[in-house]
Amino acid sequence: MLTRLRSRVVDVAPGAAFIAALLLCLEIAANSEWVNRALLPPPSSWALVVWDLIASGQFIAPLTETLLRLAAGFAIGVAAGTGLGLVMGYWRPFHDFMEPLVELMRPIPKAALVPAMVLFLGIGDSMKITSIALVVFFPMLINTVQGVRGTDPVMIDTARTFGYGSAAILWKIVFPAALPFIFAAMRVALGLGMVLAVLSEMVAGSGGMGFLILDMQRSFRVRQMYAWLVILAVVGLALTALLGAVERRVLHWGLTERPTGVKRTRGKD
């Protein structure tokens, strides 16, 4: 455990040093007036604000507000996208029926739908959660369909020979077989969900991190604006790490632990 931690530290060290060097460059650039300090104050001044926000506990309320909406929208989008993807991937006629609609909707940047959703849902939580769910939905759907399609037919025939019906095969074989695709989609969807969480607060909001970032910029509290960006970045990193930990736990049979030489080849004769 300790050696694993140590090797992890060694792994991230060069990347972390690079970030530190970049911040140092910014610091020097701002202090020597190479950039306009009013637009880009030195990172050390952001850090002081971040410290203040944390020490005073002021960061908690906006963070919680944004995270709760993100969690709700993400959960709805993942559940709906995965559920529909399983059925679409497994049942061909339903796929052919739904695919044109999906392909029509998919290329629309979901942010462009926010104004329309404000019309129907107002400017409250339901609009924001729906926006997040919508942007999460599509990558979940597309990847799940692909994962289902990629299920090894030998596994499905194995279940059939033991007398399993379609619904049981979908739940016990196809779903776990598609899980690596589903988790890959969740990683993409989490990033998109964060974009919409912040953006929807900017469009119509009275709280949350997106609202604050815009509010700080408008009231020209630039250091505060950057401080919230820093917090947002750290939160994003933490959420990604959390998802990664869940993935490693759920996909315990993944390739990482598998000894080399076990090849999953297709076809025979």
Residues forming the site for another protein (CB under 8 A):
152, 154-155, 157-164, 168, 172-173, 176, 179, 252-253, 258-259, 262-265, 268-269
Instruction: Calculate Rg over the CA atoms of the chain.
Output: 23
Nearer Cβ to another protein, position 97 or 253? 253
Nearer Cβ to another protein, position 218 or 263? 263
Burial (CB count within 10 angstroms: exposed 0-12, middle 13-18, buried 19+), residue 209: buried
Task: Tell the smallest beta-carbon distance from residue 245 to another protein (Å).
Answer: 18
Task: Tell the smallest beta-carbon distance from residue 216 to another protein (Å).
Answer: 47
Task: Tell the smallest beta-carbon distance from residue 153 to another protein (Å).
Answer: 9
Task: Tell the smallest beta-carbon distance from residue 266 to another protein (Å).
Answer: 8
Nearer Cβ to another protein, position 55 or 262? 262
Of the candidates 63, 24, 66, 13, the one whose C-alpha atom is nearest the C-alpha of residue 47 is: 24
Answer for the pair 145, 88: CB distance below 8 angstroms, yes or no: yes
Task: Tell the smallest beta-carbon distance from residue 174 to another protein (Å).
Answer: 11
Nearer Cβ to another protein, position 169 or 225? 169
Nearer Cβ to another protein, position 18 or 171? 171
